[in-house]
Structure 1
């Protein structure tokens, strides 16, 4: 078959799936934005990324930006069709940036499978979760509703969808959920596994941490409230006081990935400054973002890993920490309840209970033998439910096979 992946930052969520399909003899191609130079497992073609859209008001600009990107992707698709005679049997795409909006107008006969990562909602979600950041809540609710317009449009057009977790699938309207199959992208549990000989050299330091030492880790793409950075930092004074030999390693960029920007400076600085006078900074290490091998080594060294999140997309880092054998203390929020059973394969604490979080982290640091069954069960669960090669990739290939076996969509009038 001809299979086309579409993602502005390809391979994104699809490196393993694209490689596996190509390995099975399918002709796999990816359409991505110009300027994307990430290594790709398959041949890549580019569309011209749109210039920033200068449209007011902001709600109109939001849809205009994704619509313009969708138009650029569709124009590139039409060149592939008319110049090269390319016709995909299946299109697999991430709809988040609008690229899949108009591909059915170019190839109406192709099956369209989209990655249903999250549907923005105005209530019962990340938008209204944290009362500390509810300034101008009405405007935020309206913005969240507007942000979902192109996602709904794409899912209506799609023949099927994949969502990585049941929670993320549940954010979409009930009338569209029948299109969504739940299957995680997968964790390579052969590569990410416990290693009693692991070590991690702290960047810019002569300190090397080793498995078995009292190491507390926190990982987030960006250090911001959506991933509970503020709750974690507020818990640190009590944790460091209770555990005078512990070291804390915090991985993440200083910018912002998901939530609103800080009033000034960076969220990292705001919440570090809030506790600066109450913590021993010589034992708290900020690394910025680190490369994949270093992250794996850090998770293998970690005695306790803290993962907090609003009701939002579940991070791969949580599953990787569990696969590496770290004891995870996480927030009692819907995405984590799907993975962690409190007291069996980790601990869950109230996102806003700073004292409770500090106590749980301190207890897990103090007595690793007590929590060894949790660590072992976490590892077993990752292998059984989220292993890339044994569980998730076969399931994804099964979904692909099912969709391509269905009757093609009806032809439309040519443009």
Structure 2
């Protein structure tokens, strides 16, 4: 069958699924933004979206919908030309986050439309209002959050089905549409993310750390409050004082993935670091920036203790990947983490805001690696049994997508 994948940053969540569908003999095409430089083995078409000038004072709560629906119009016009040239997909699978799927039923009404339903913004009960240190919380913030979800609801209502990677993320959608959602994770390549006692990582200062060394890790796409960077850094002085041989390896950029940029500062990295810099031995704190995937794998393999924090929000791929690599994960006691990590069995949980608790738990984890070896092994087993790419998630994803195609004869 003909399958069209849509993602402004393709391959995105379709990294493994799209090539697998092509391998299985389907006619696969991806449509992505012309500014996207990521490469894929899948045949890819591009659309050019310049966006529209938006007056914040005029649009207010409609700003997000205006932005997303404008992209949806751009995509619809490109798809209209594709239809005029004779292209008719059987199945369309697109991420709903940027409005790309909003009007595709108008172009191809007979095609089955699946949306990747990653997260539904809410006025309370998730990320908004969770951490008020940097963002005020009141009625205005609640209404803004609800307004941000308008295009997500429309996208799902107009689709034939939706897919969410975790049960908690699916639960953020209104009960009236939750029955449209299937929960299947993108999958973790546990043949790559494996424990490796020979792993090494060269740090920016030239020092090399190895599996078995006292290494504390923290990894995120960008260093920001949504992923608990501020809590982790505030816990570091006590950790480093108690563990004078520990090396701290921090991965992440200095941009903003989620939430807002700090006021009056270049980025969250330096703003939070400035709070604690004088209390740290900076020769043992290693900021790696954004790293290539093989380097990330090695970092997980040398980690003695790995801290992962998140607001009640989208679960990072790195969380499950670290478990597959056999890390001892110390995670925040927030809903996305609690879905995949059980305290004392597959990892350790600490209240997100408990800086003292983070220090004490990570000190203990660094001091007694043998004690926590069974937990590391159980974490990997859990990840492989429930989230392995090739044996669990990819087969389920393939079956899900193929179920929308023409009946087999």
Question: What corresponds to 1:146 in structure 2?
Answer: 147
Matched, 1:42 2:42: yes
Question: What corresponds to 1:360 in structure 2?
Answer: 361
SS of match in other structure, 1:200: strand
Matched, 1:75 2:59: no
Q: Which runs of 4+ in 1 moved over 6 A?
A: none
CA contact (8 A) 2:28 2:43 kept: yes
| Deviation by residue 1:259-305 (Cα, 9 ceiling, x = unmatched) | 12111211111111111111111110111110100000110011100
Pairwise CA distance, 1:370: 0.1
The CA distance in 2 between the partners of 1:402 and 1:53, in whole Å, is: 41
The CA distance in 2 between the partners of 1:328 and 1:62, in whole Å, is: 35
1:151-170 to 2 correspondences below 5 Å:
151-170=152-171
Question: What corresponds to 1:16 in structure 2?
Answer: 16
Q: Which moved more, 1:334-343 or 1:394-403?
A: 394-403
SS of match in other structure, 1:260: coil
CA contact (8 A) 2:165 2:184 kept: yes
Q: Which moved more, 1:176-185 or 1:398-407?
A: 398-407
Matched, 1:256 2:256: yes
Pairwise CA distance, 1:138: 2.7
| Deviation by residue 1:321-353 (Cα, 9 ceiling, x = unmatched) | 111111000100000110110000100010011
1:105-120 to 2 correspondences below 5 Å:
105-120=106-121
SS of match in other structure, 2:125: coil
CA contact (8 A) 2:129 2:137 kept: no
CA contact (8 A) 1:160 1:403 kept: no
Question: What corresponds to 1:183 in structure 2?
Answer: 184
Matched, 1:66 2:49: no
CA contact (8 A) 1:228 1:309 kept: yes
| Deviation by residue 1:181-212 (Cα, 9 ceiling, x = unmatched) | 10000000001100000001113x21011000
Pairwise CA distance, 1:136: 5.1
Q: Unaligned stretches of 5+ in structure 1?
A: 408-415
The CA distance in 2 between the partners of 1:237 and 1:209, in whole Å, is: 21
After superposition, the Cα gap between the structure-2 partners of 1:226 and 1:78, relative to the gap in structure 1 and judged at 3 Å, is same
Question: What corresponds to 1:346 in structure 2?
Answer: 347
Pairwise CA distance, 1:129: 0.7
Q: How many residues align?
A: 405
The CA distance in 2 between the partners of 1:317 and 1:240, in whole Å, is: 24
Q: Which moved more, 1:130-139 or 1:389-398?
A: 130-139
Question: What corresponds to 2:371 in structure 1?
Answer: 370
Question: What corresponds to 1:410 in structure 2?
Answer: none
The CA distance in 2 between the partners of 1:314 and 1:206, in whole Å, is: 32
The CA distance in 2 between the partners of 1:229 and 1:212, in whole Å, is: 25
The CA distance in 2 between the partners of 1:112 and 1:53, in whole Å, is: 30
The CA distance in 2 between the partners of 1:362 and 1:123, in whole Å, is: 34
SS of match in other structure, 2:46: strand
Question: What corresponds to 2:286 in structure 1?
Answer: 285
CA contact (8 A) 1:50 1:68 kept: no
The CA distance in 1 between the partners of 2:91 and 2:150, in whole Å, is: 24
The CA distance in 1 between the partners of 2:36 and 2:333, in whole Å, is: 37
Q: Unaligned stretches of 5+ in structure 2?
A: none
Pairwise CA distance, 1:46: 1.1
CA contact (8 A) 2:218 2:306 kept: yes
After superposition, the Cα gap between the structure-2 partners of 1:248 and 1:46, relative to the gap in structure 1 and judged at 3 Å, is same
The CA distance in 2 between the partners of 1:123 and 1:23, in whole Å, is: 43
CA contact (8 A) 1:53 1:61 kept: no
Question: What corresponds to 1:211 in structure 2?
Answer: 211
| Deviation by residue 1:25-59 (Cα, 9 ceiling, x = unmatched) | 00000111112221112111111213343233332
Matched, 1:3 2:6: no
Matched, 1:315 2:312: no
Q: Which moved more, 1:45-54 or 1:192-201?
A: 45-54
| CA-based RMSD | 1.2
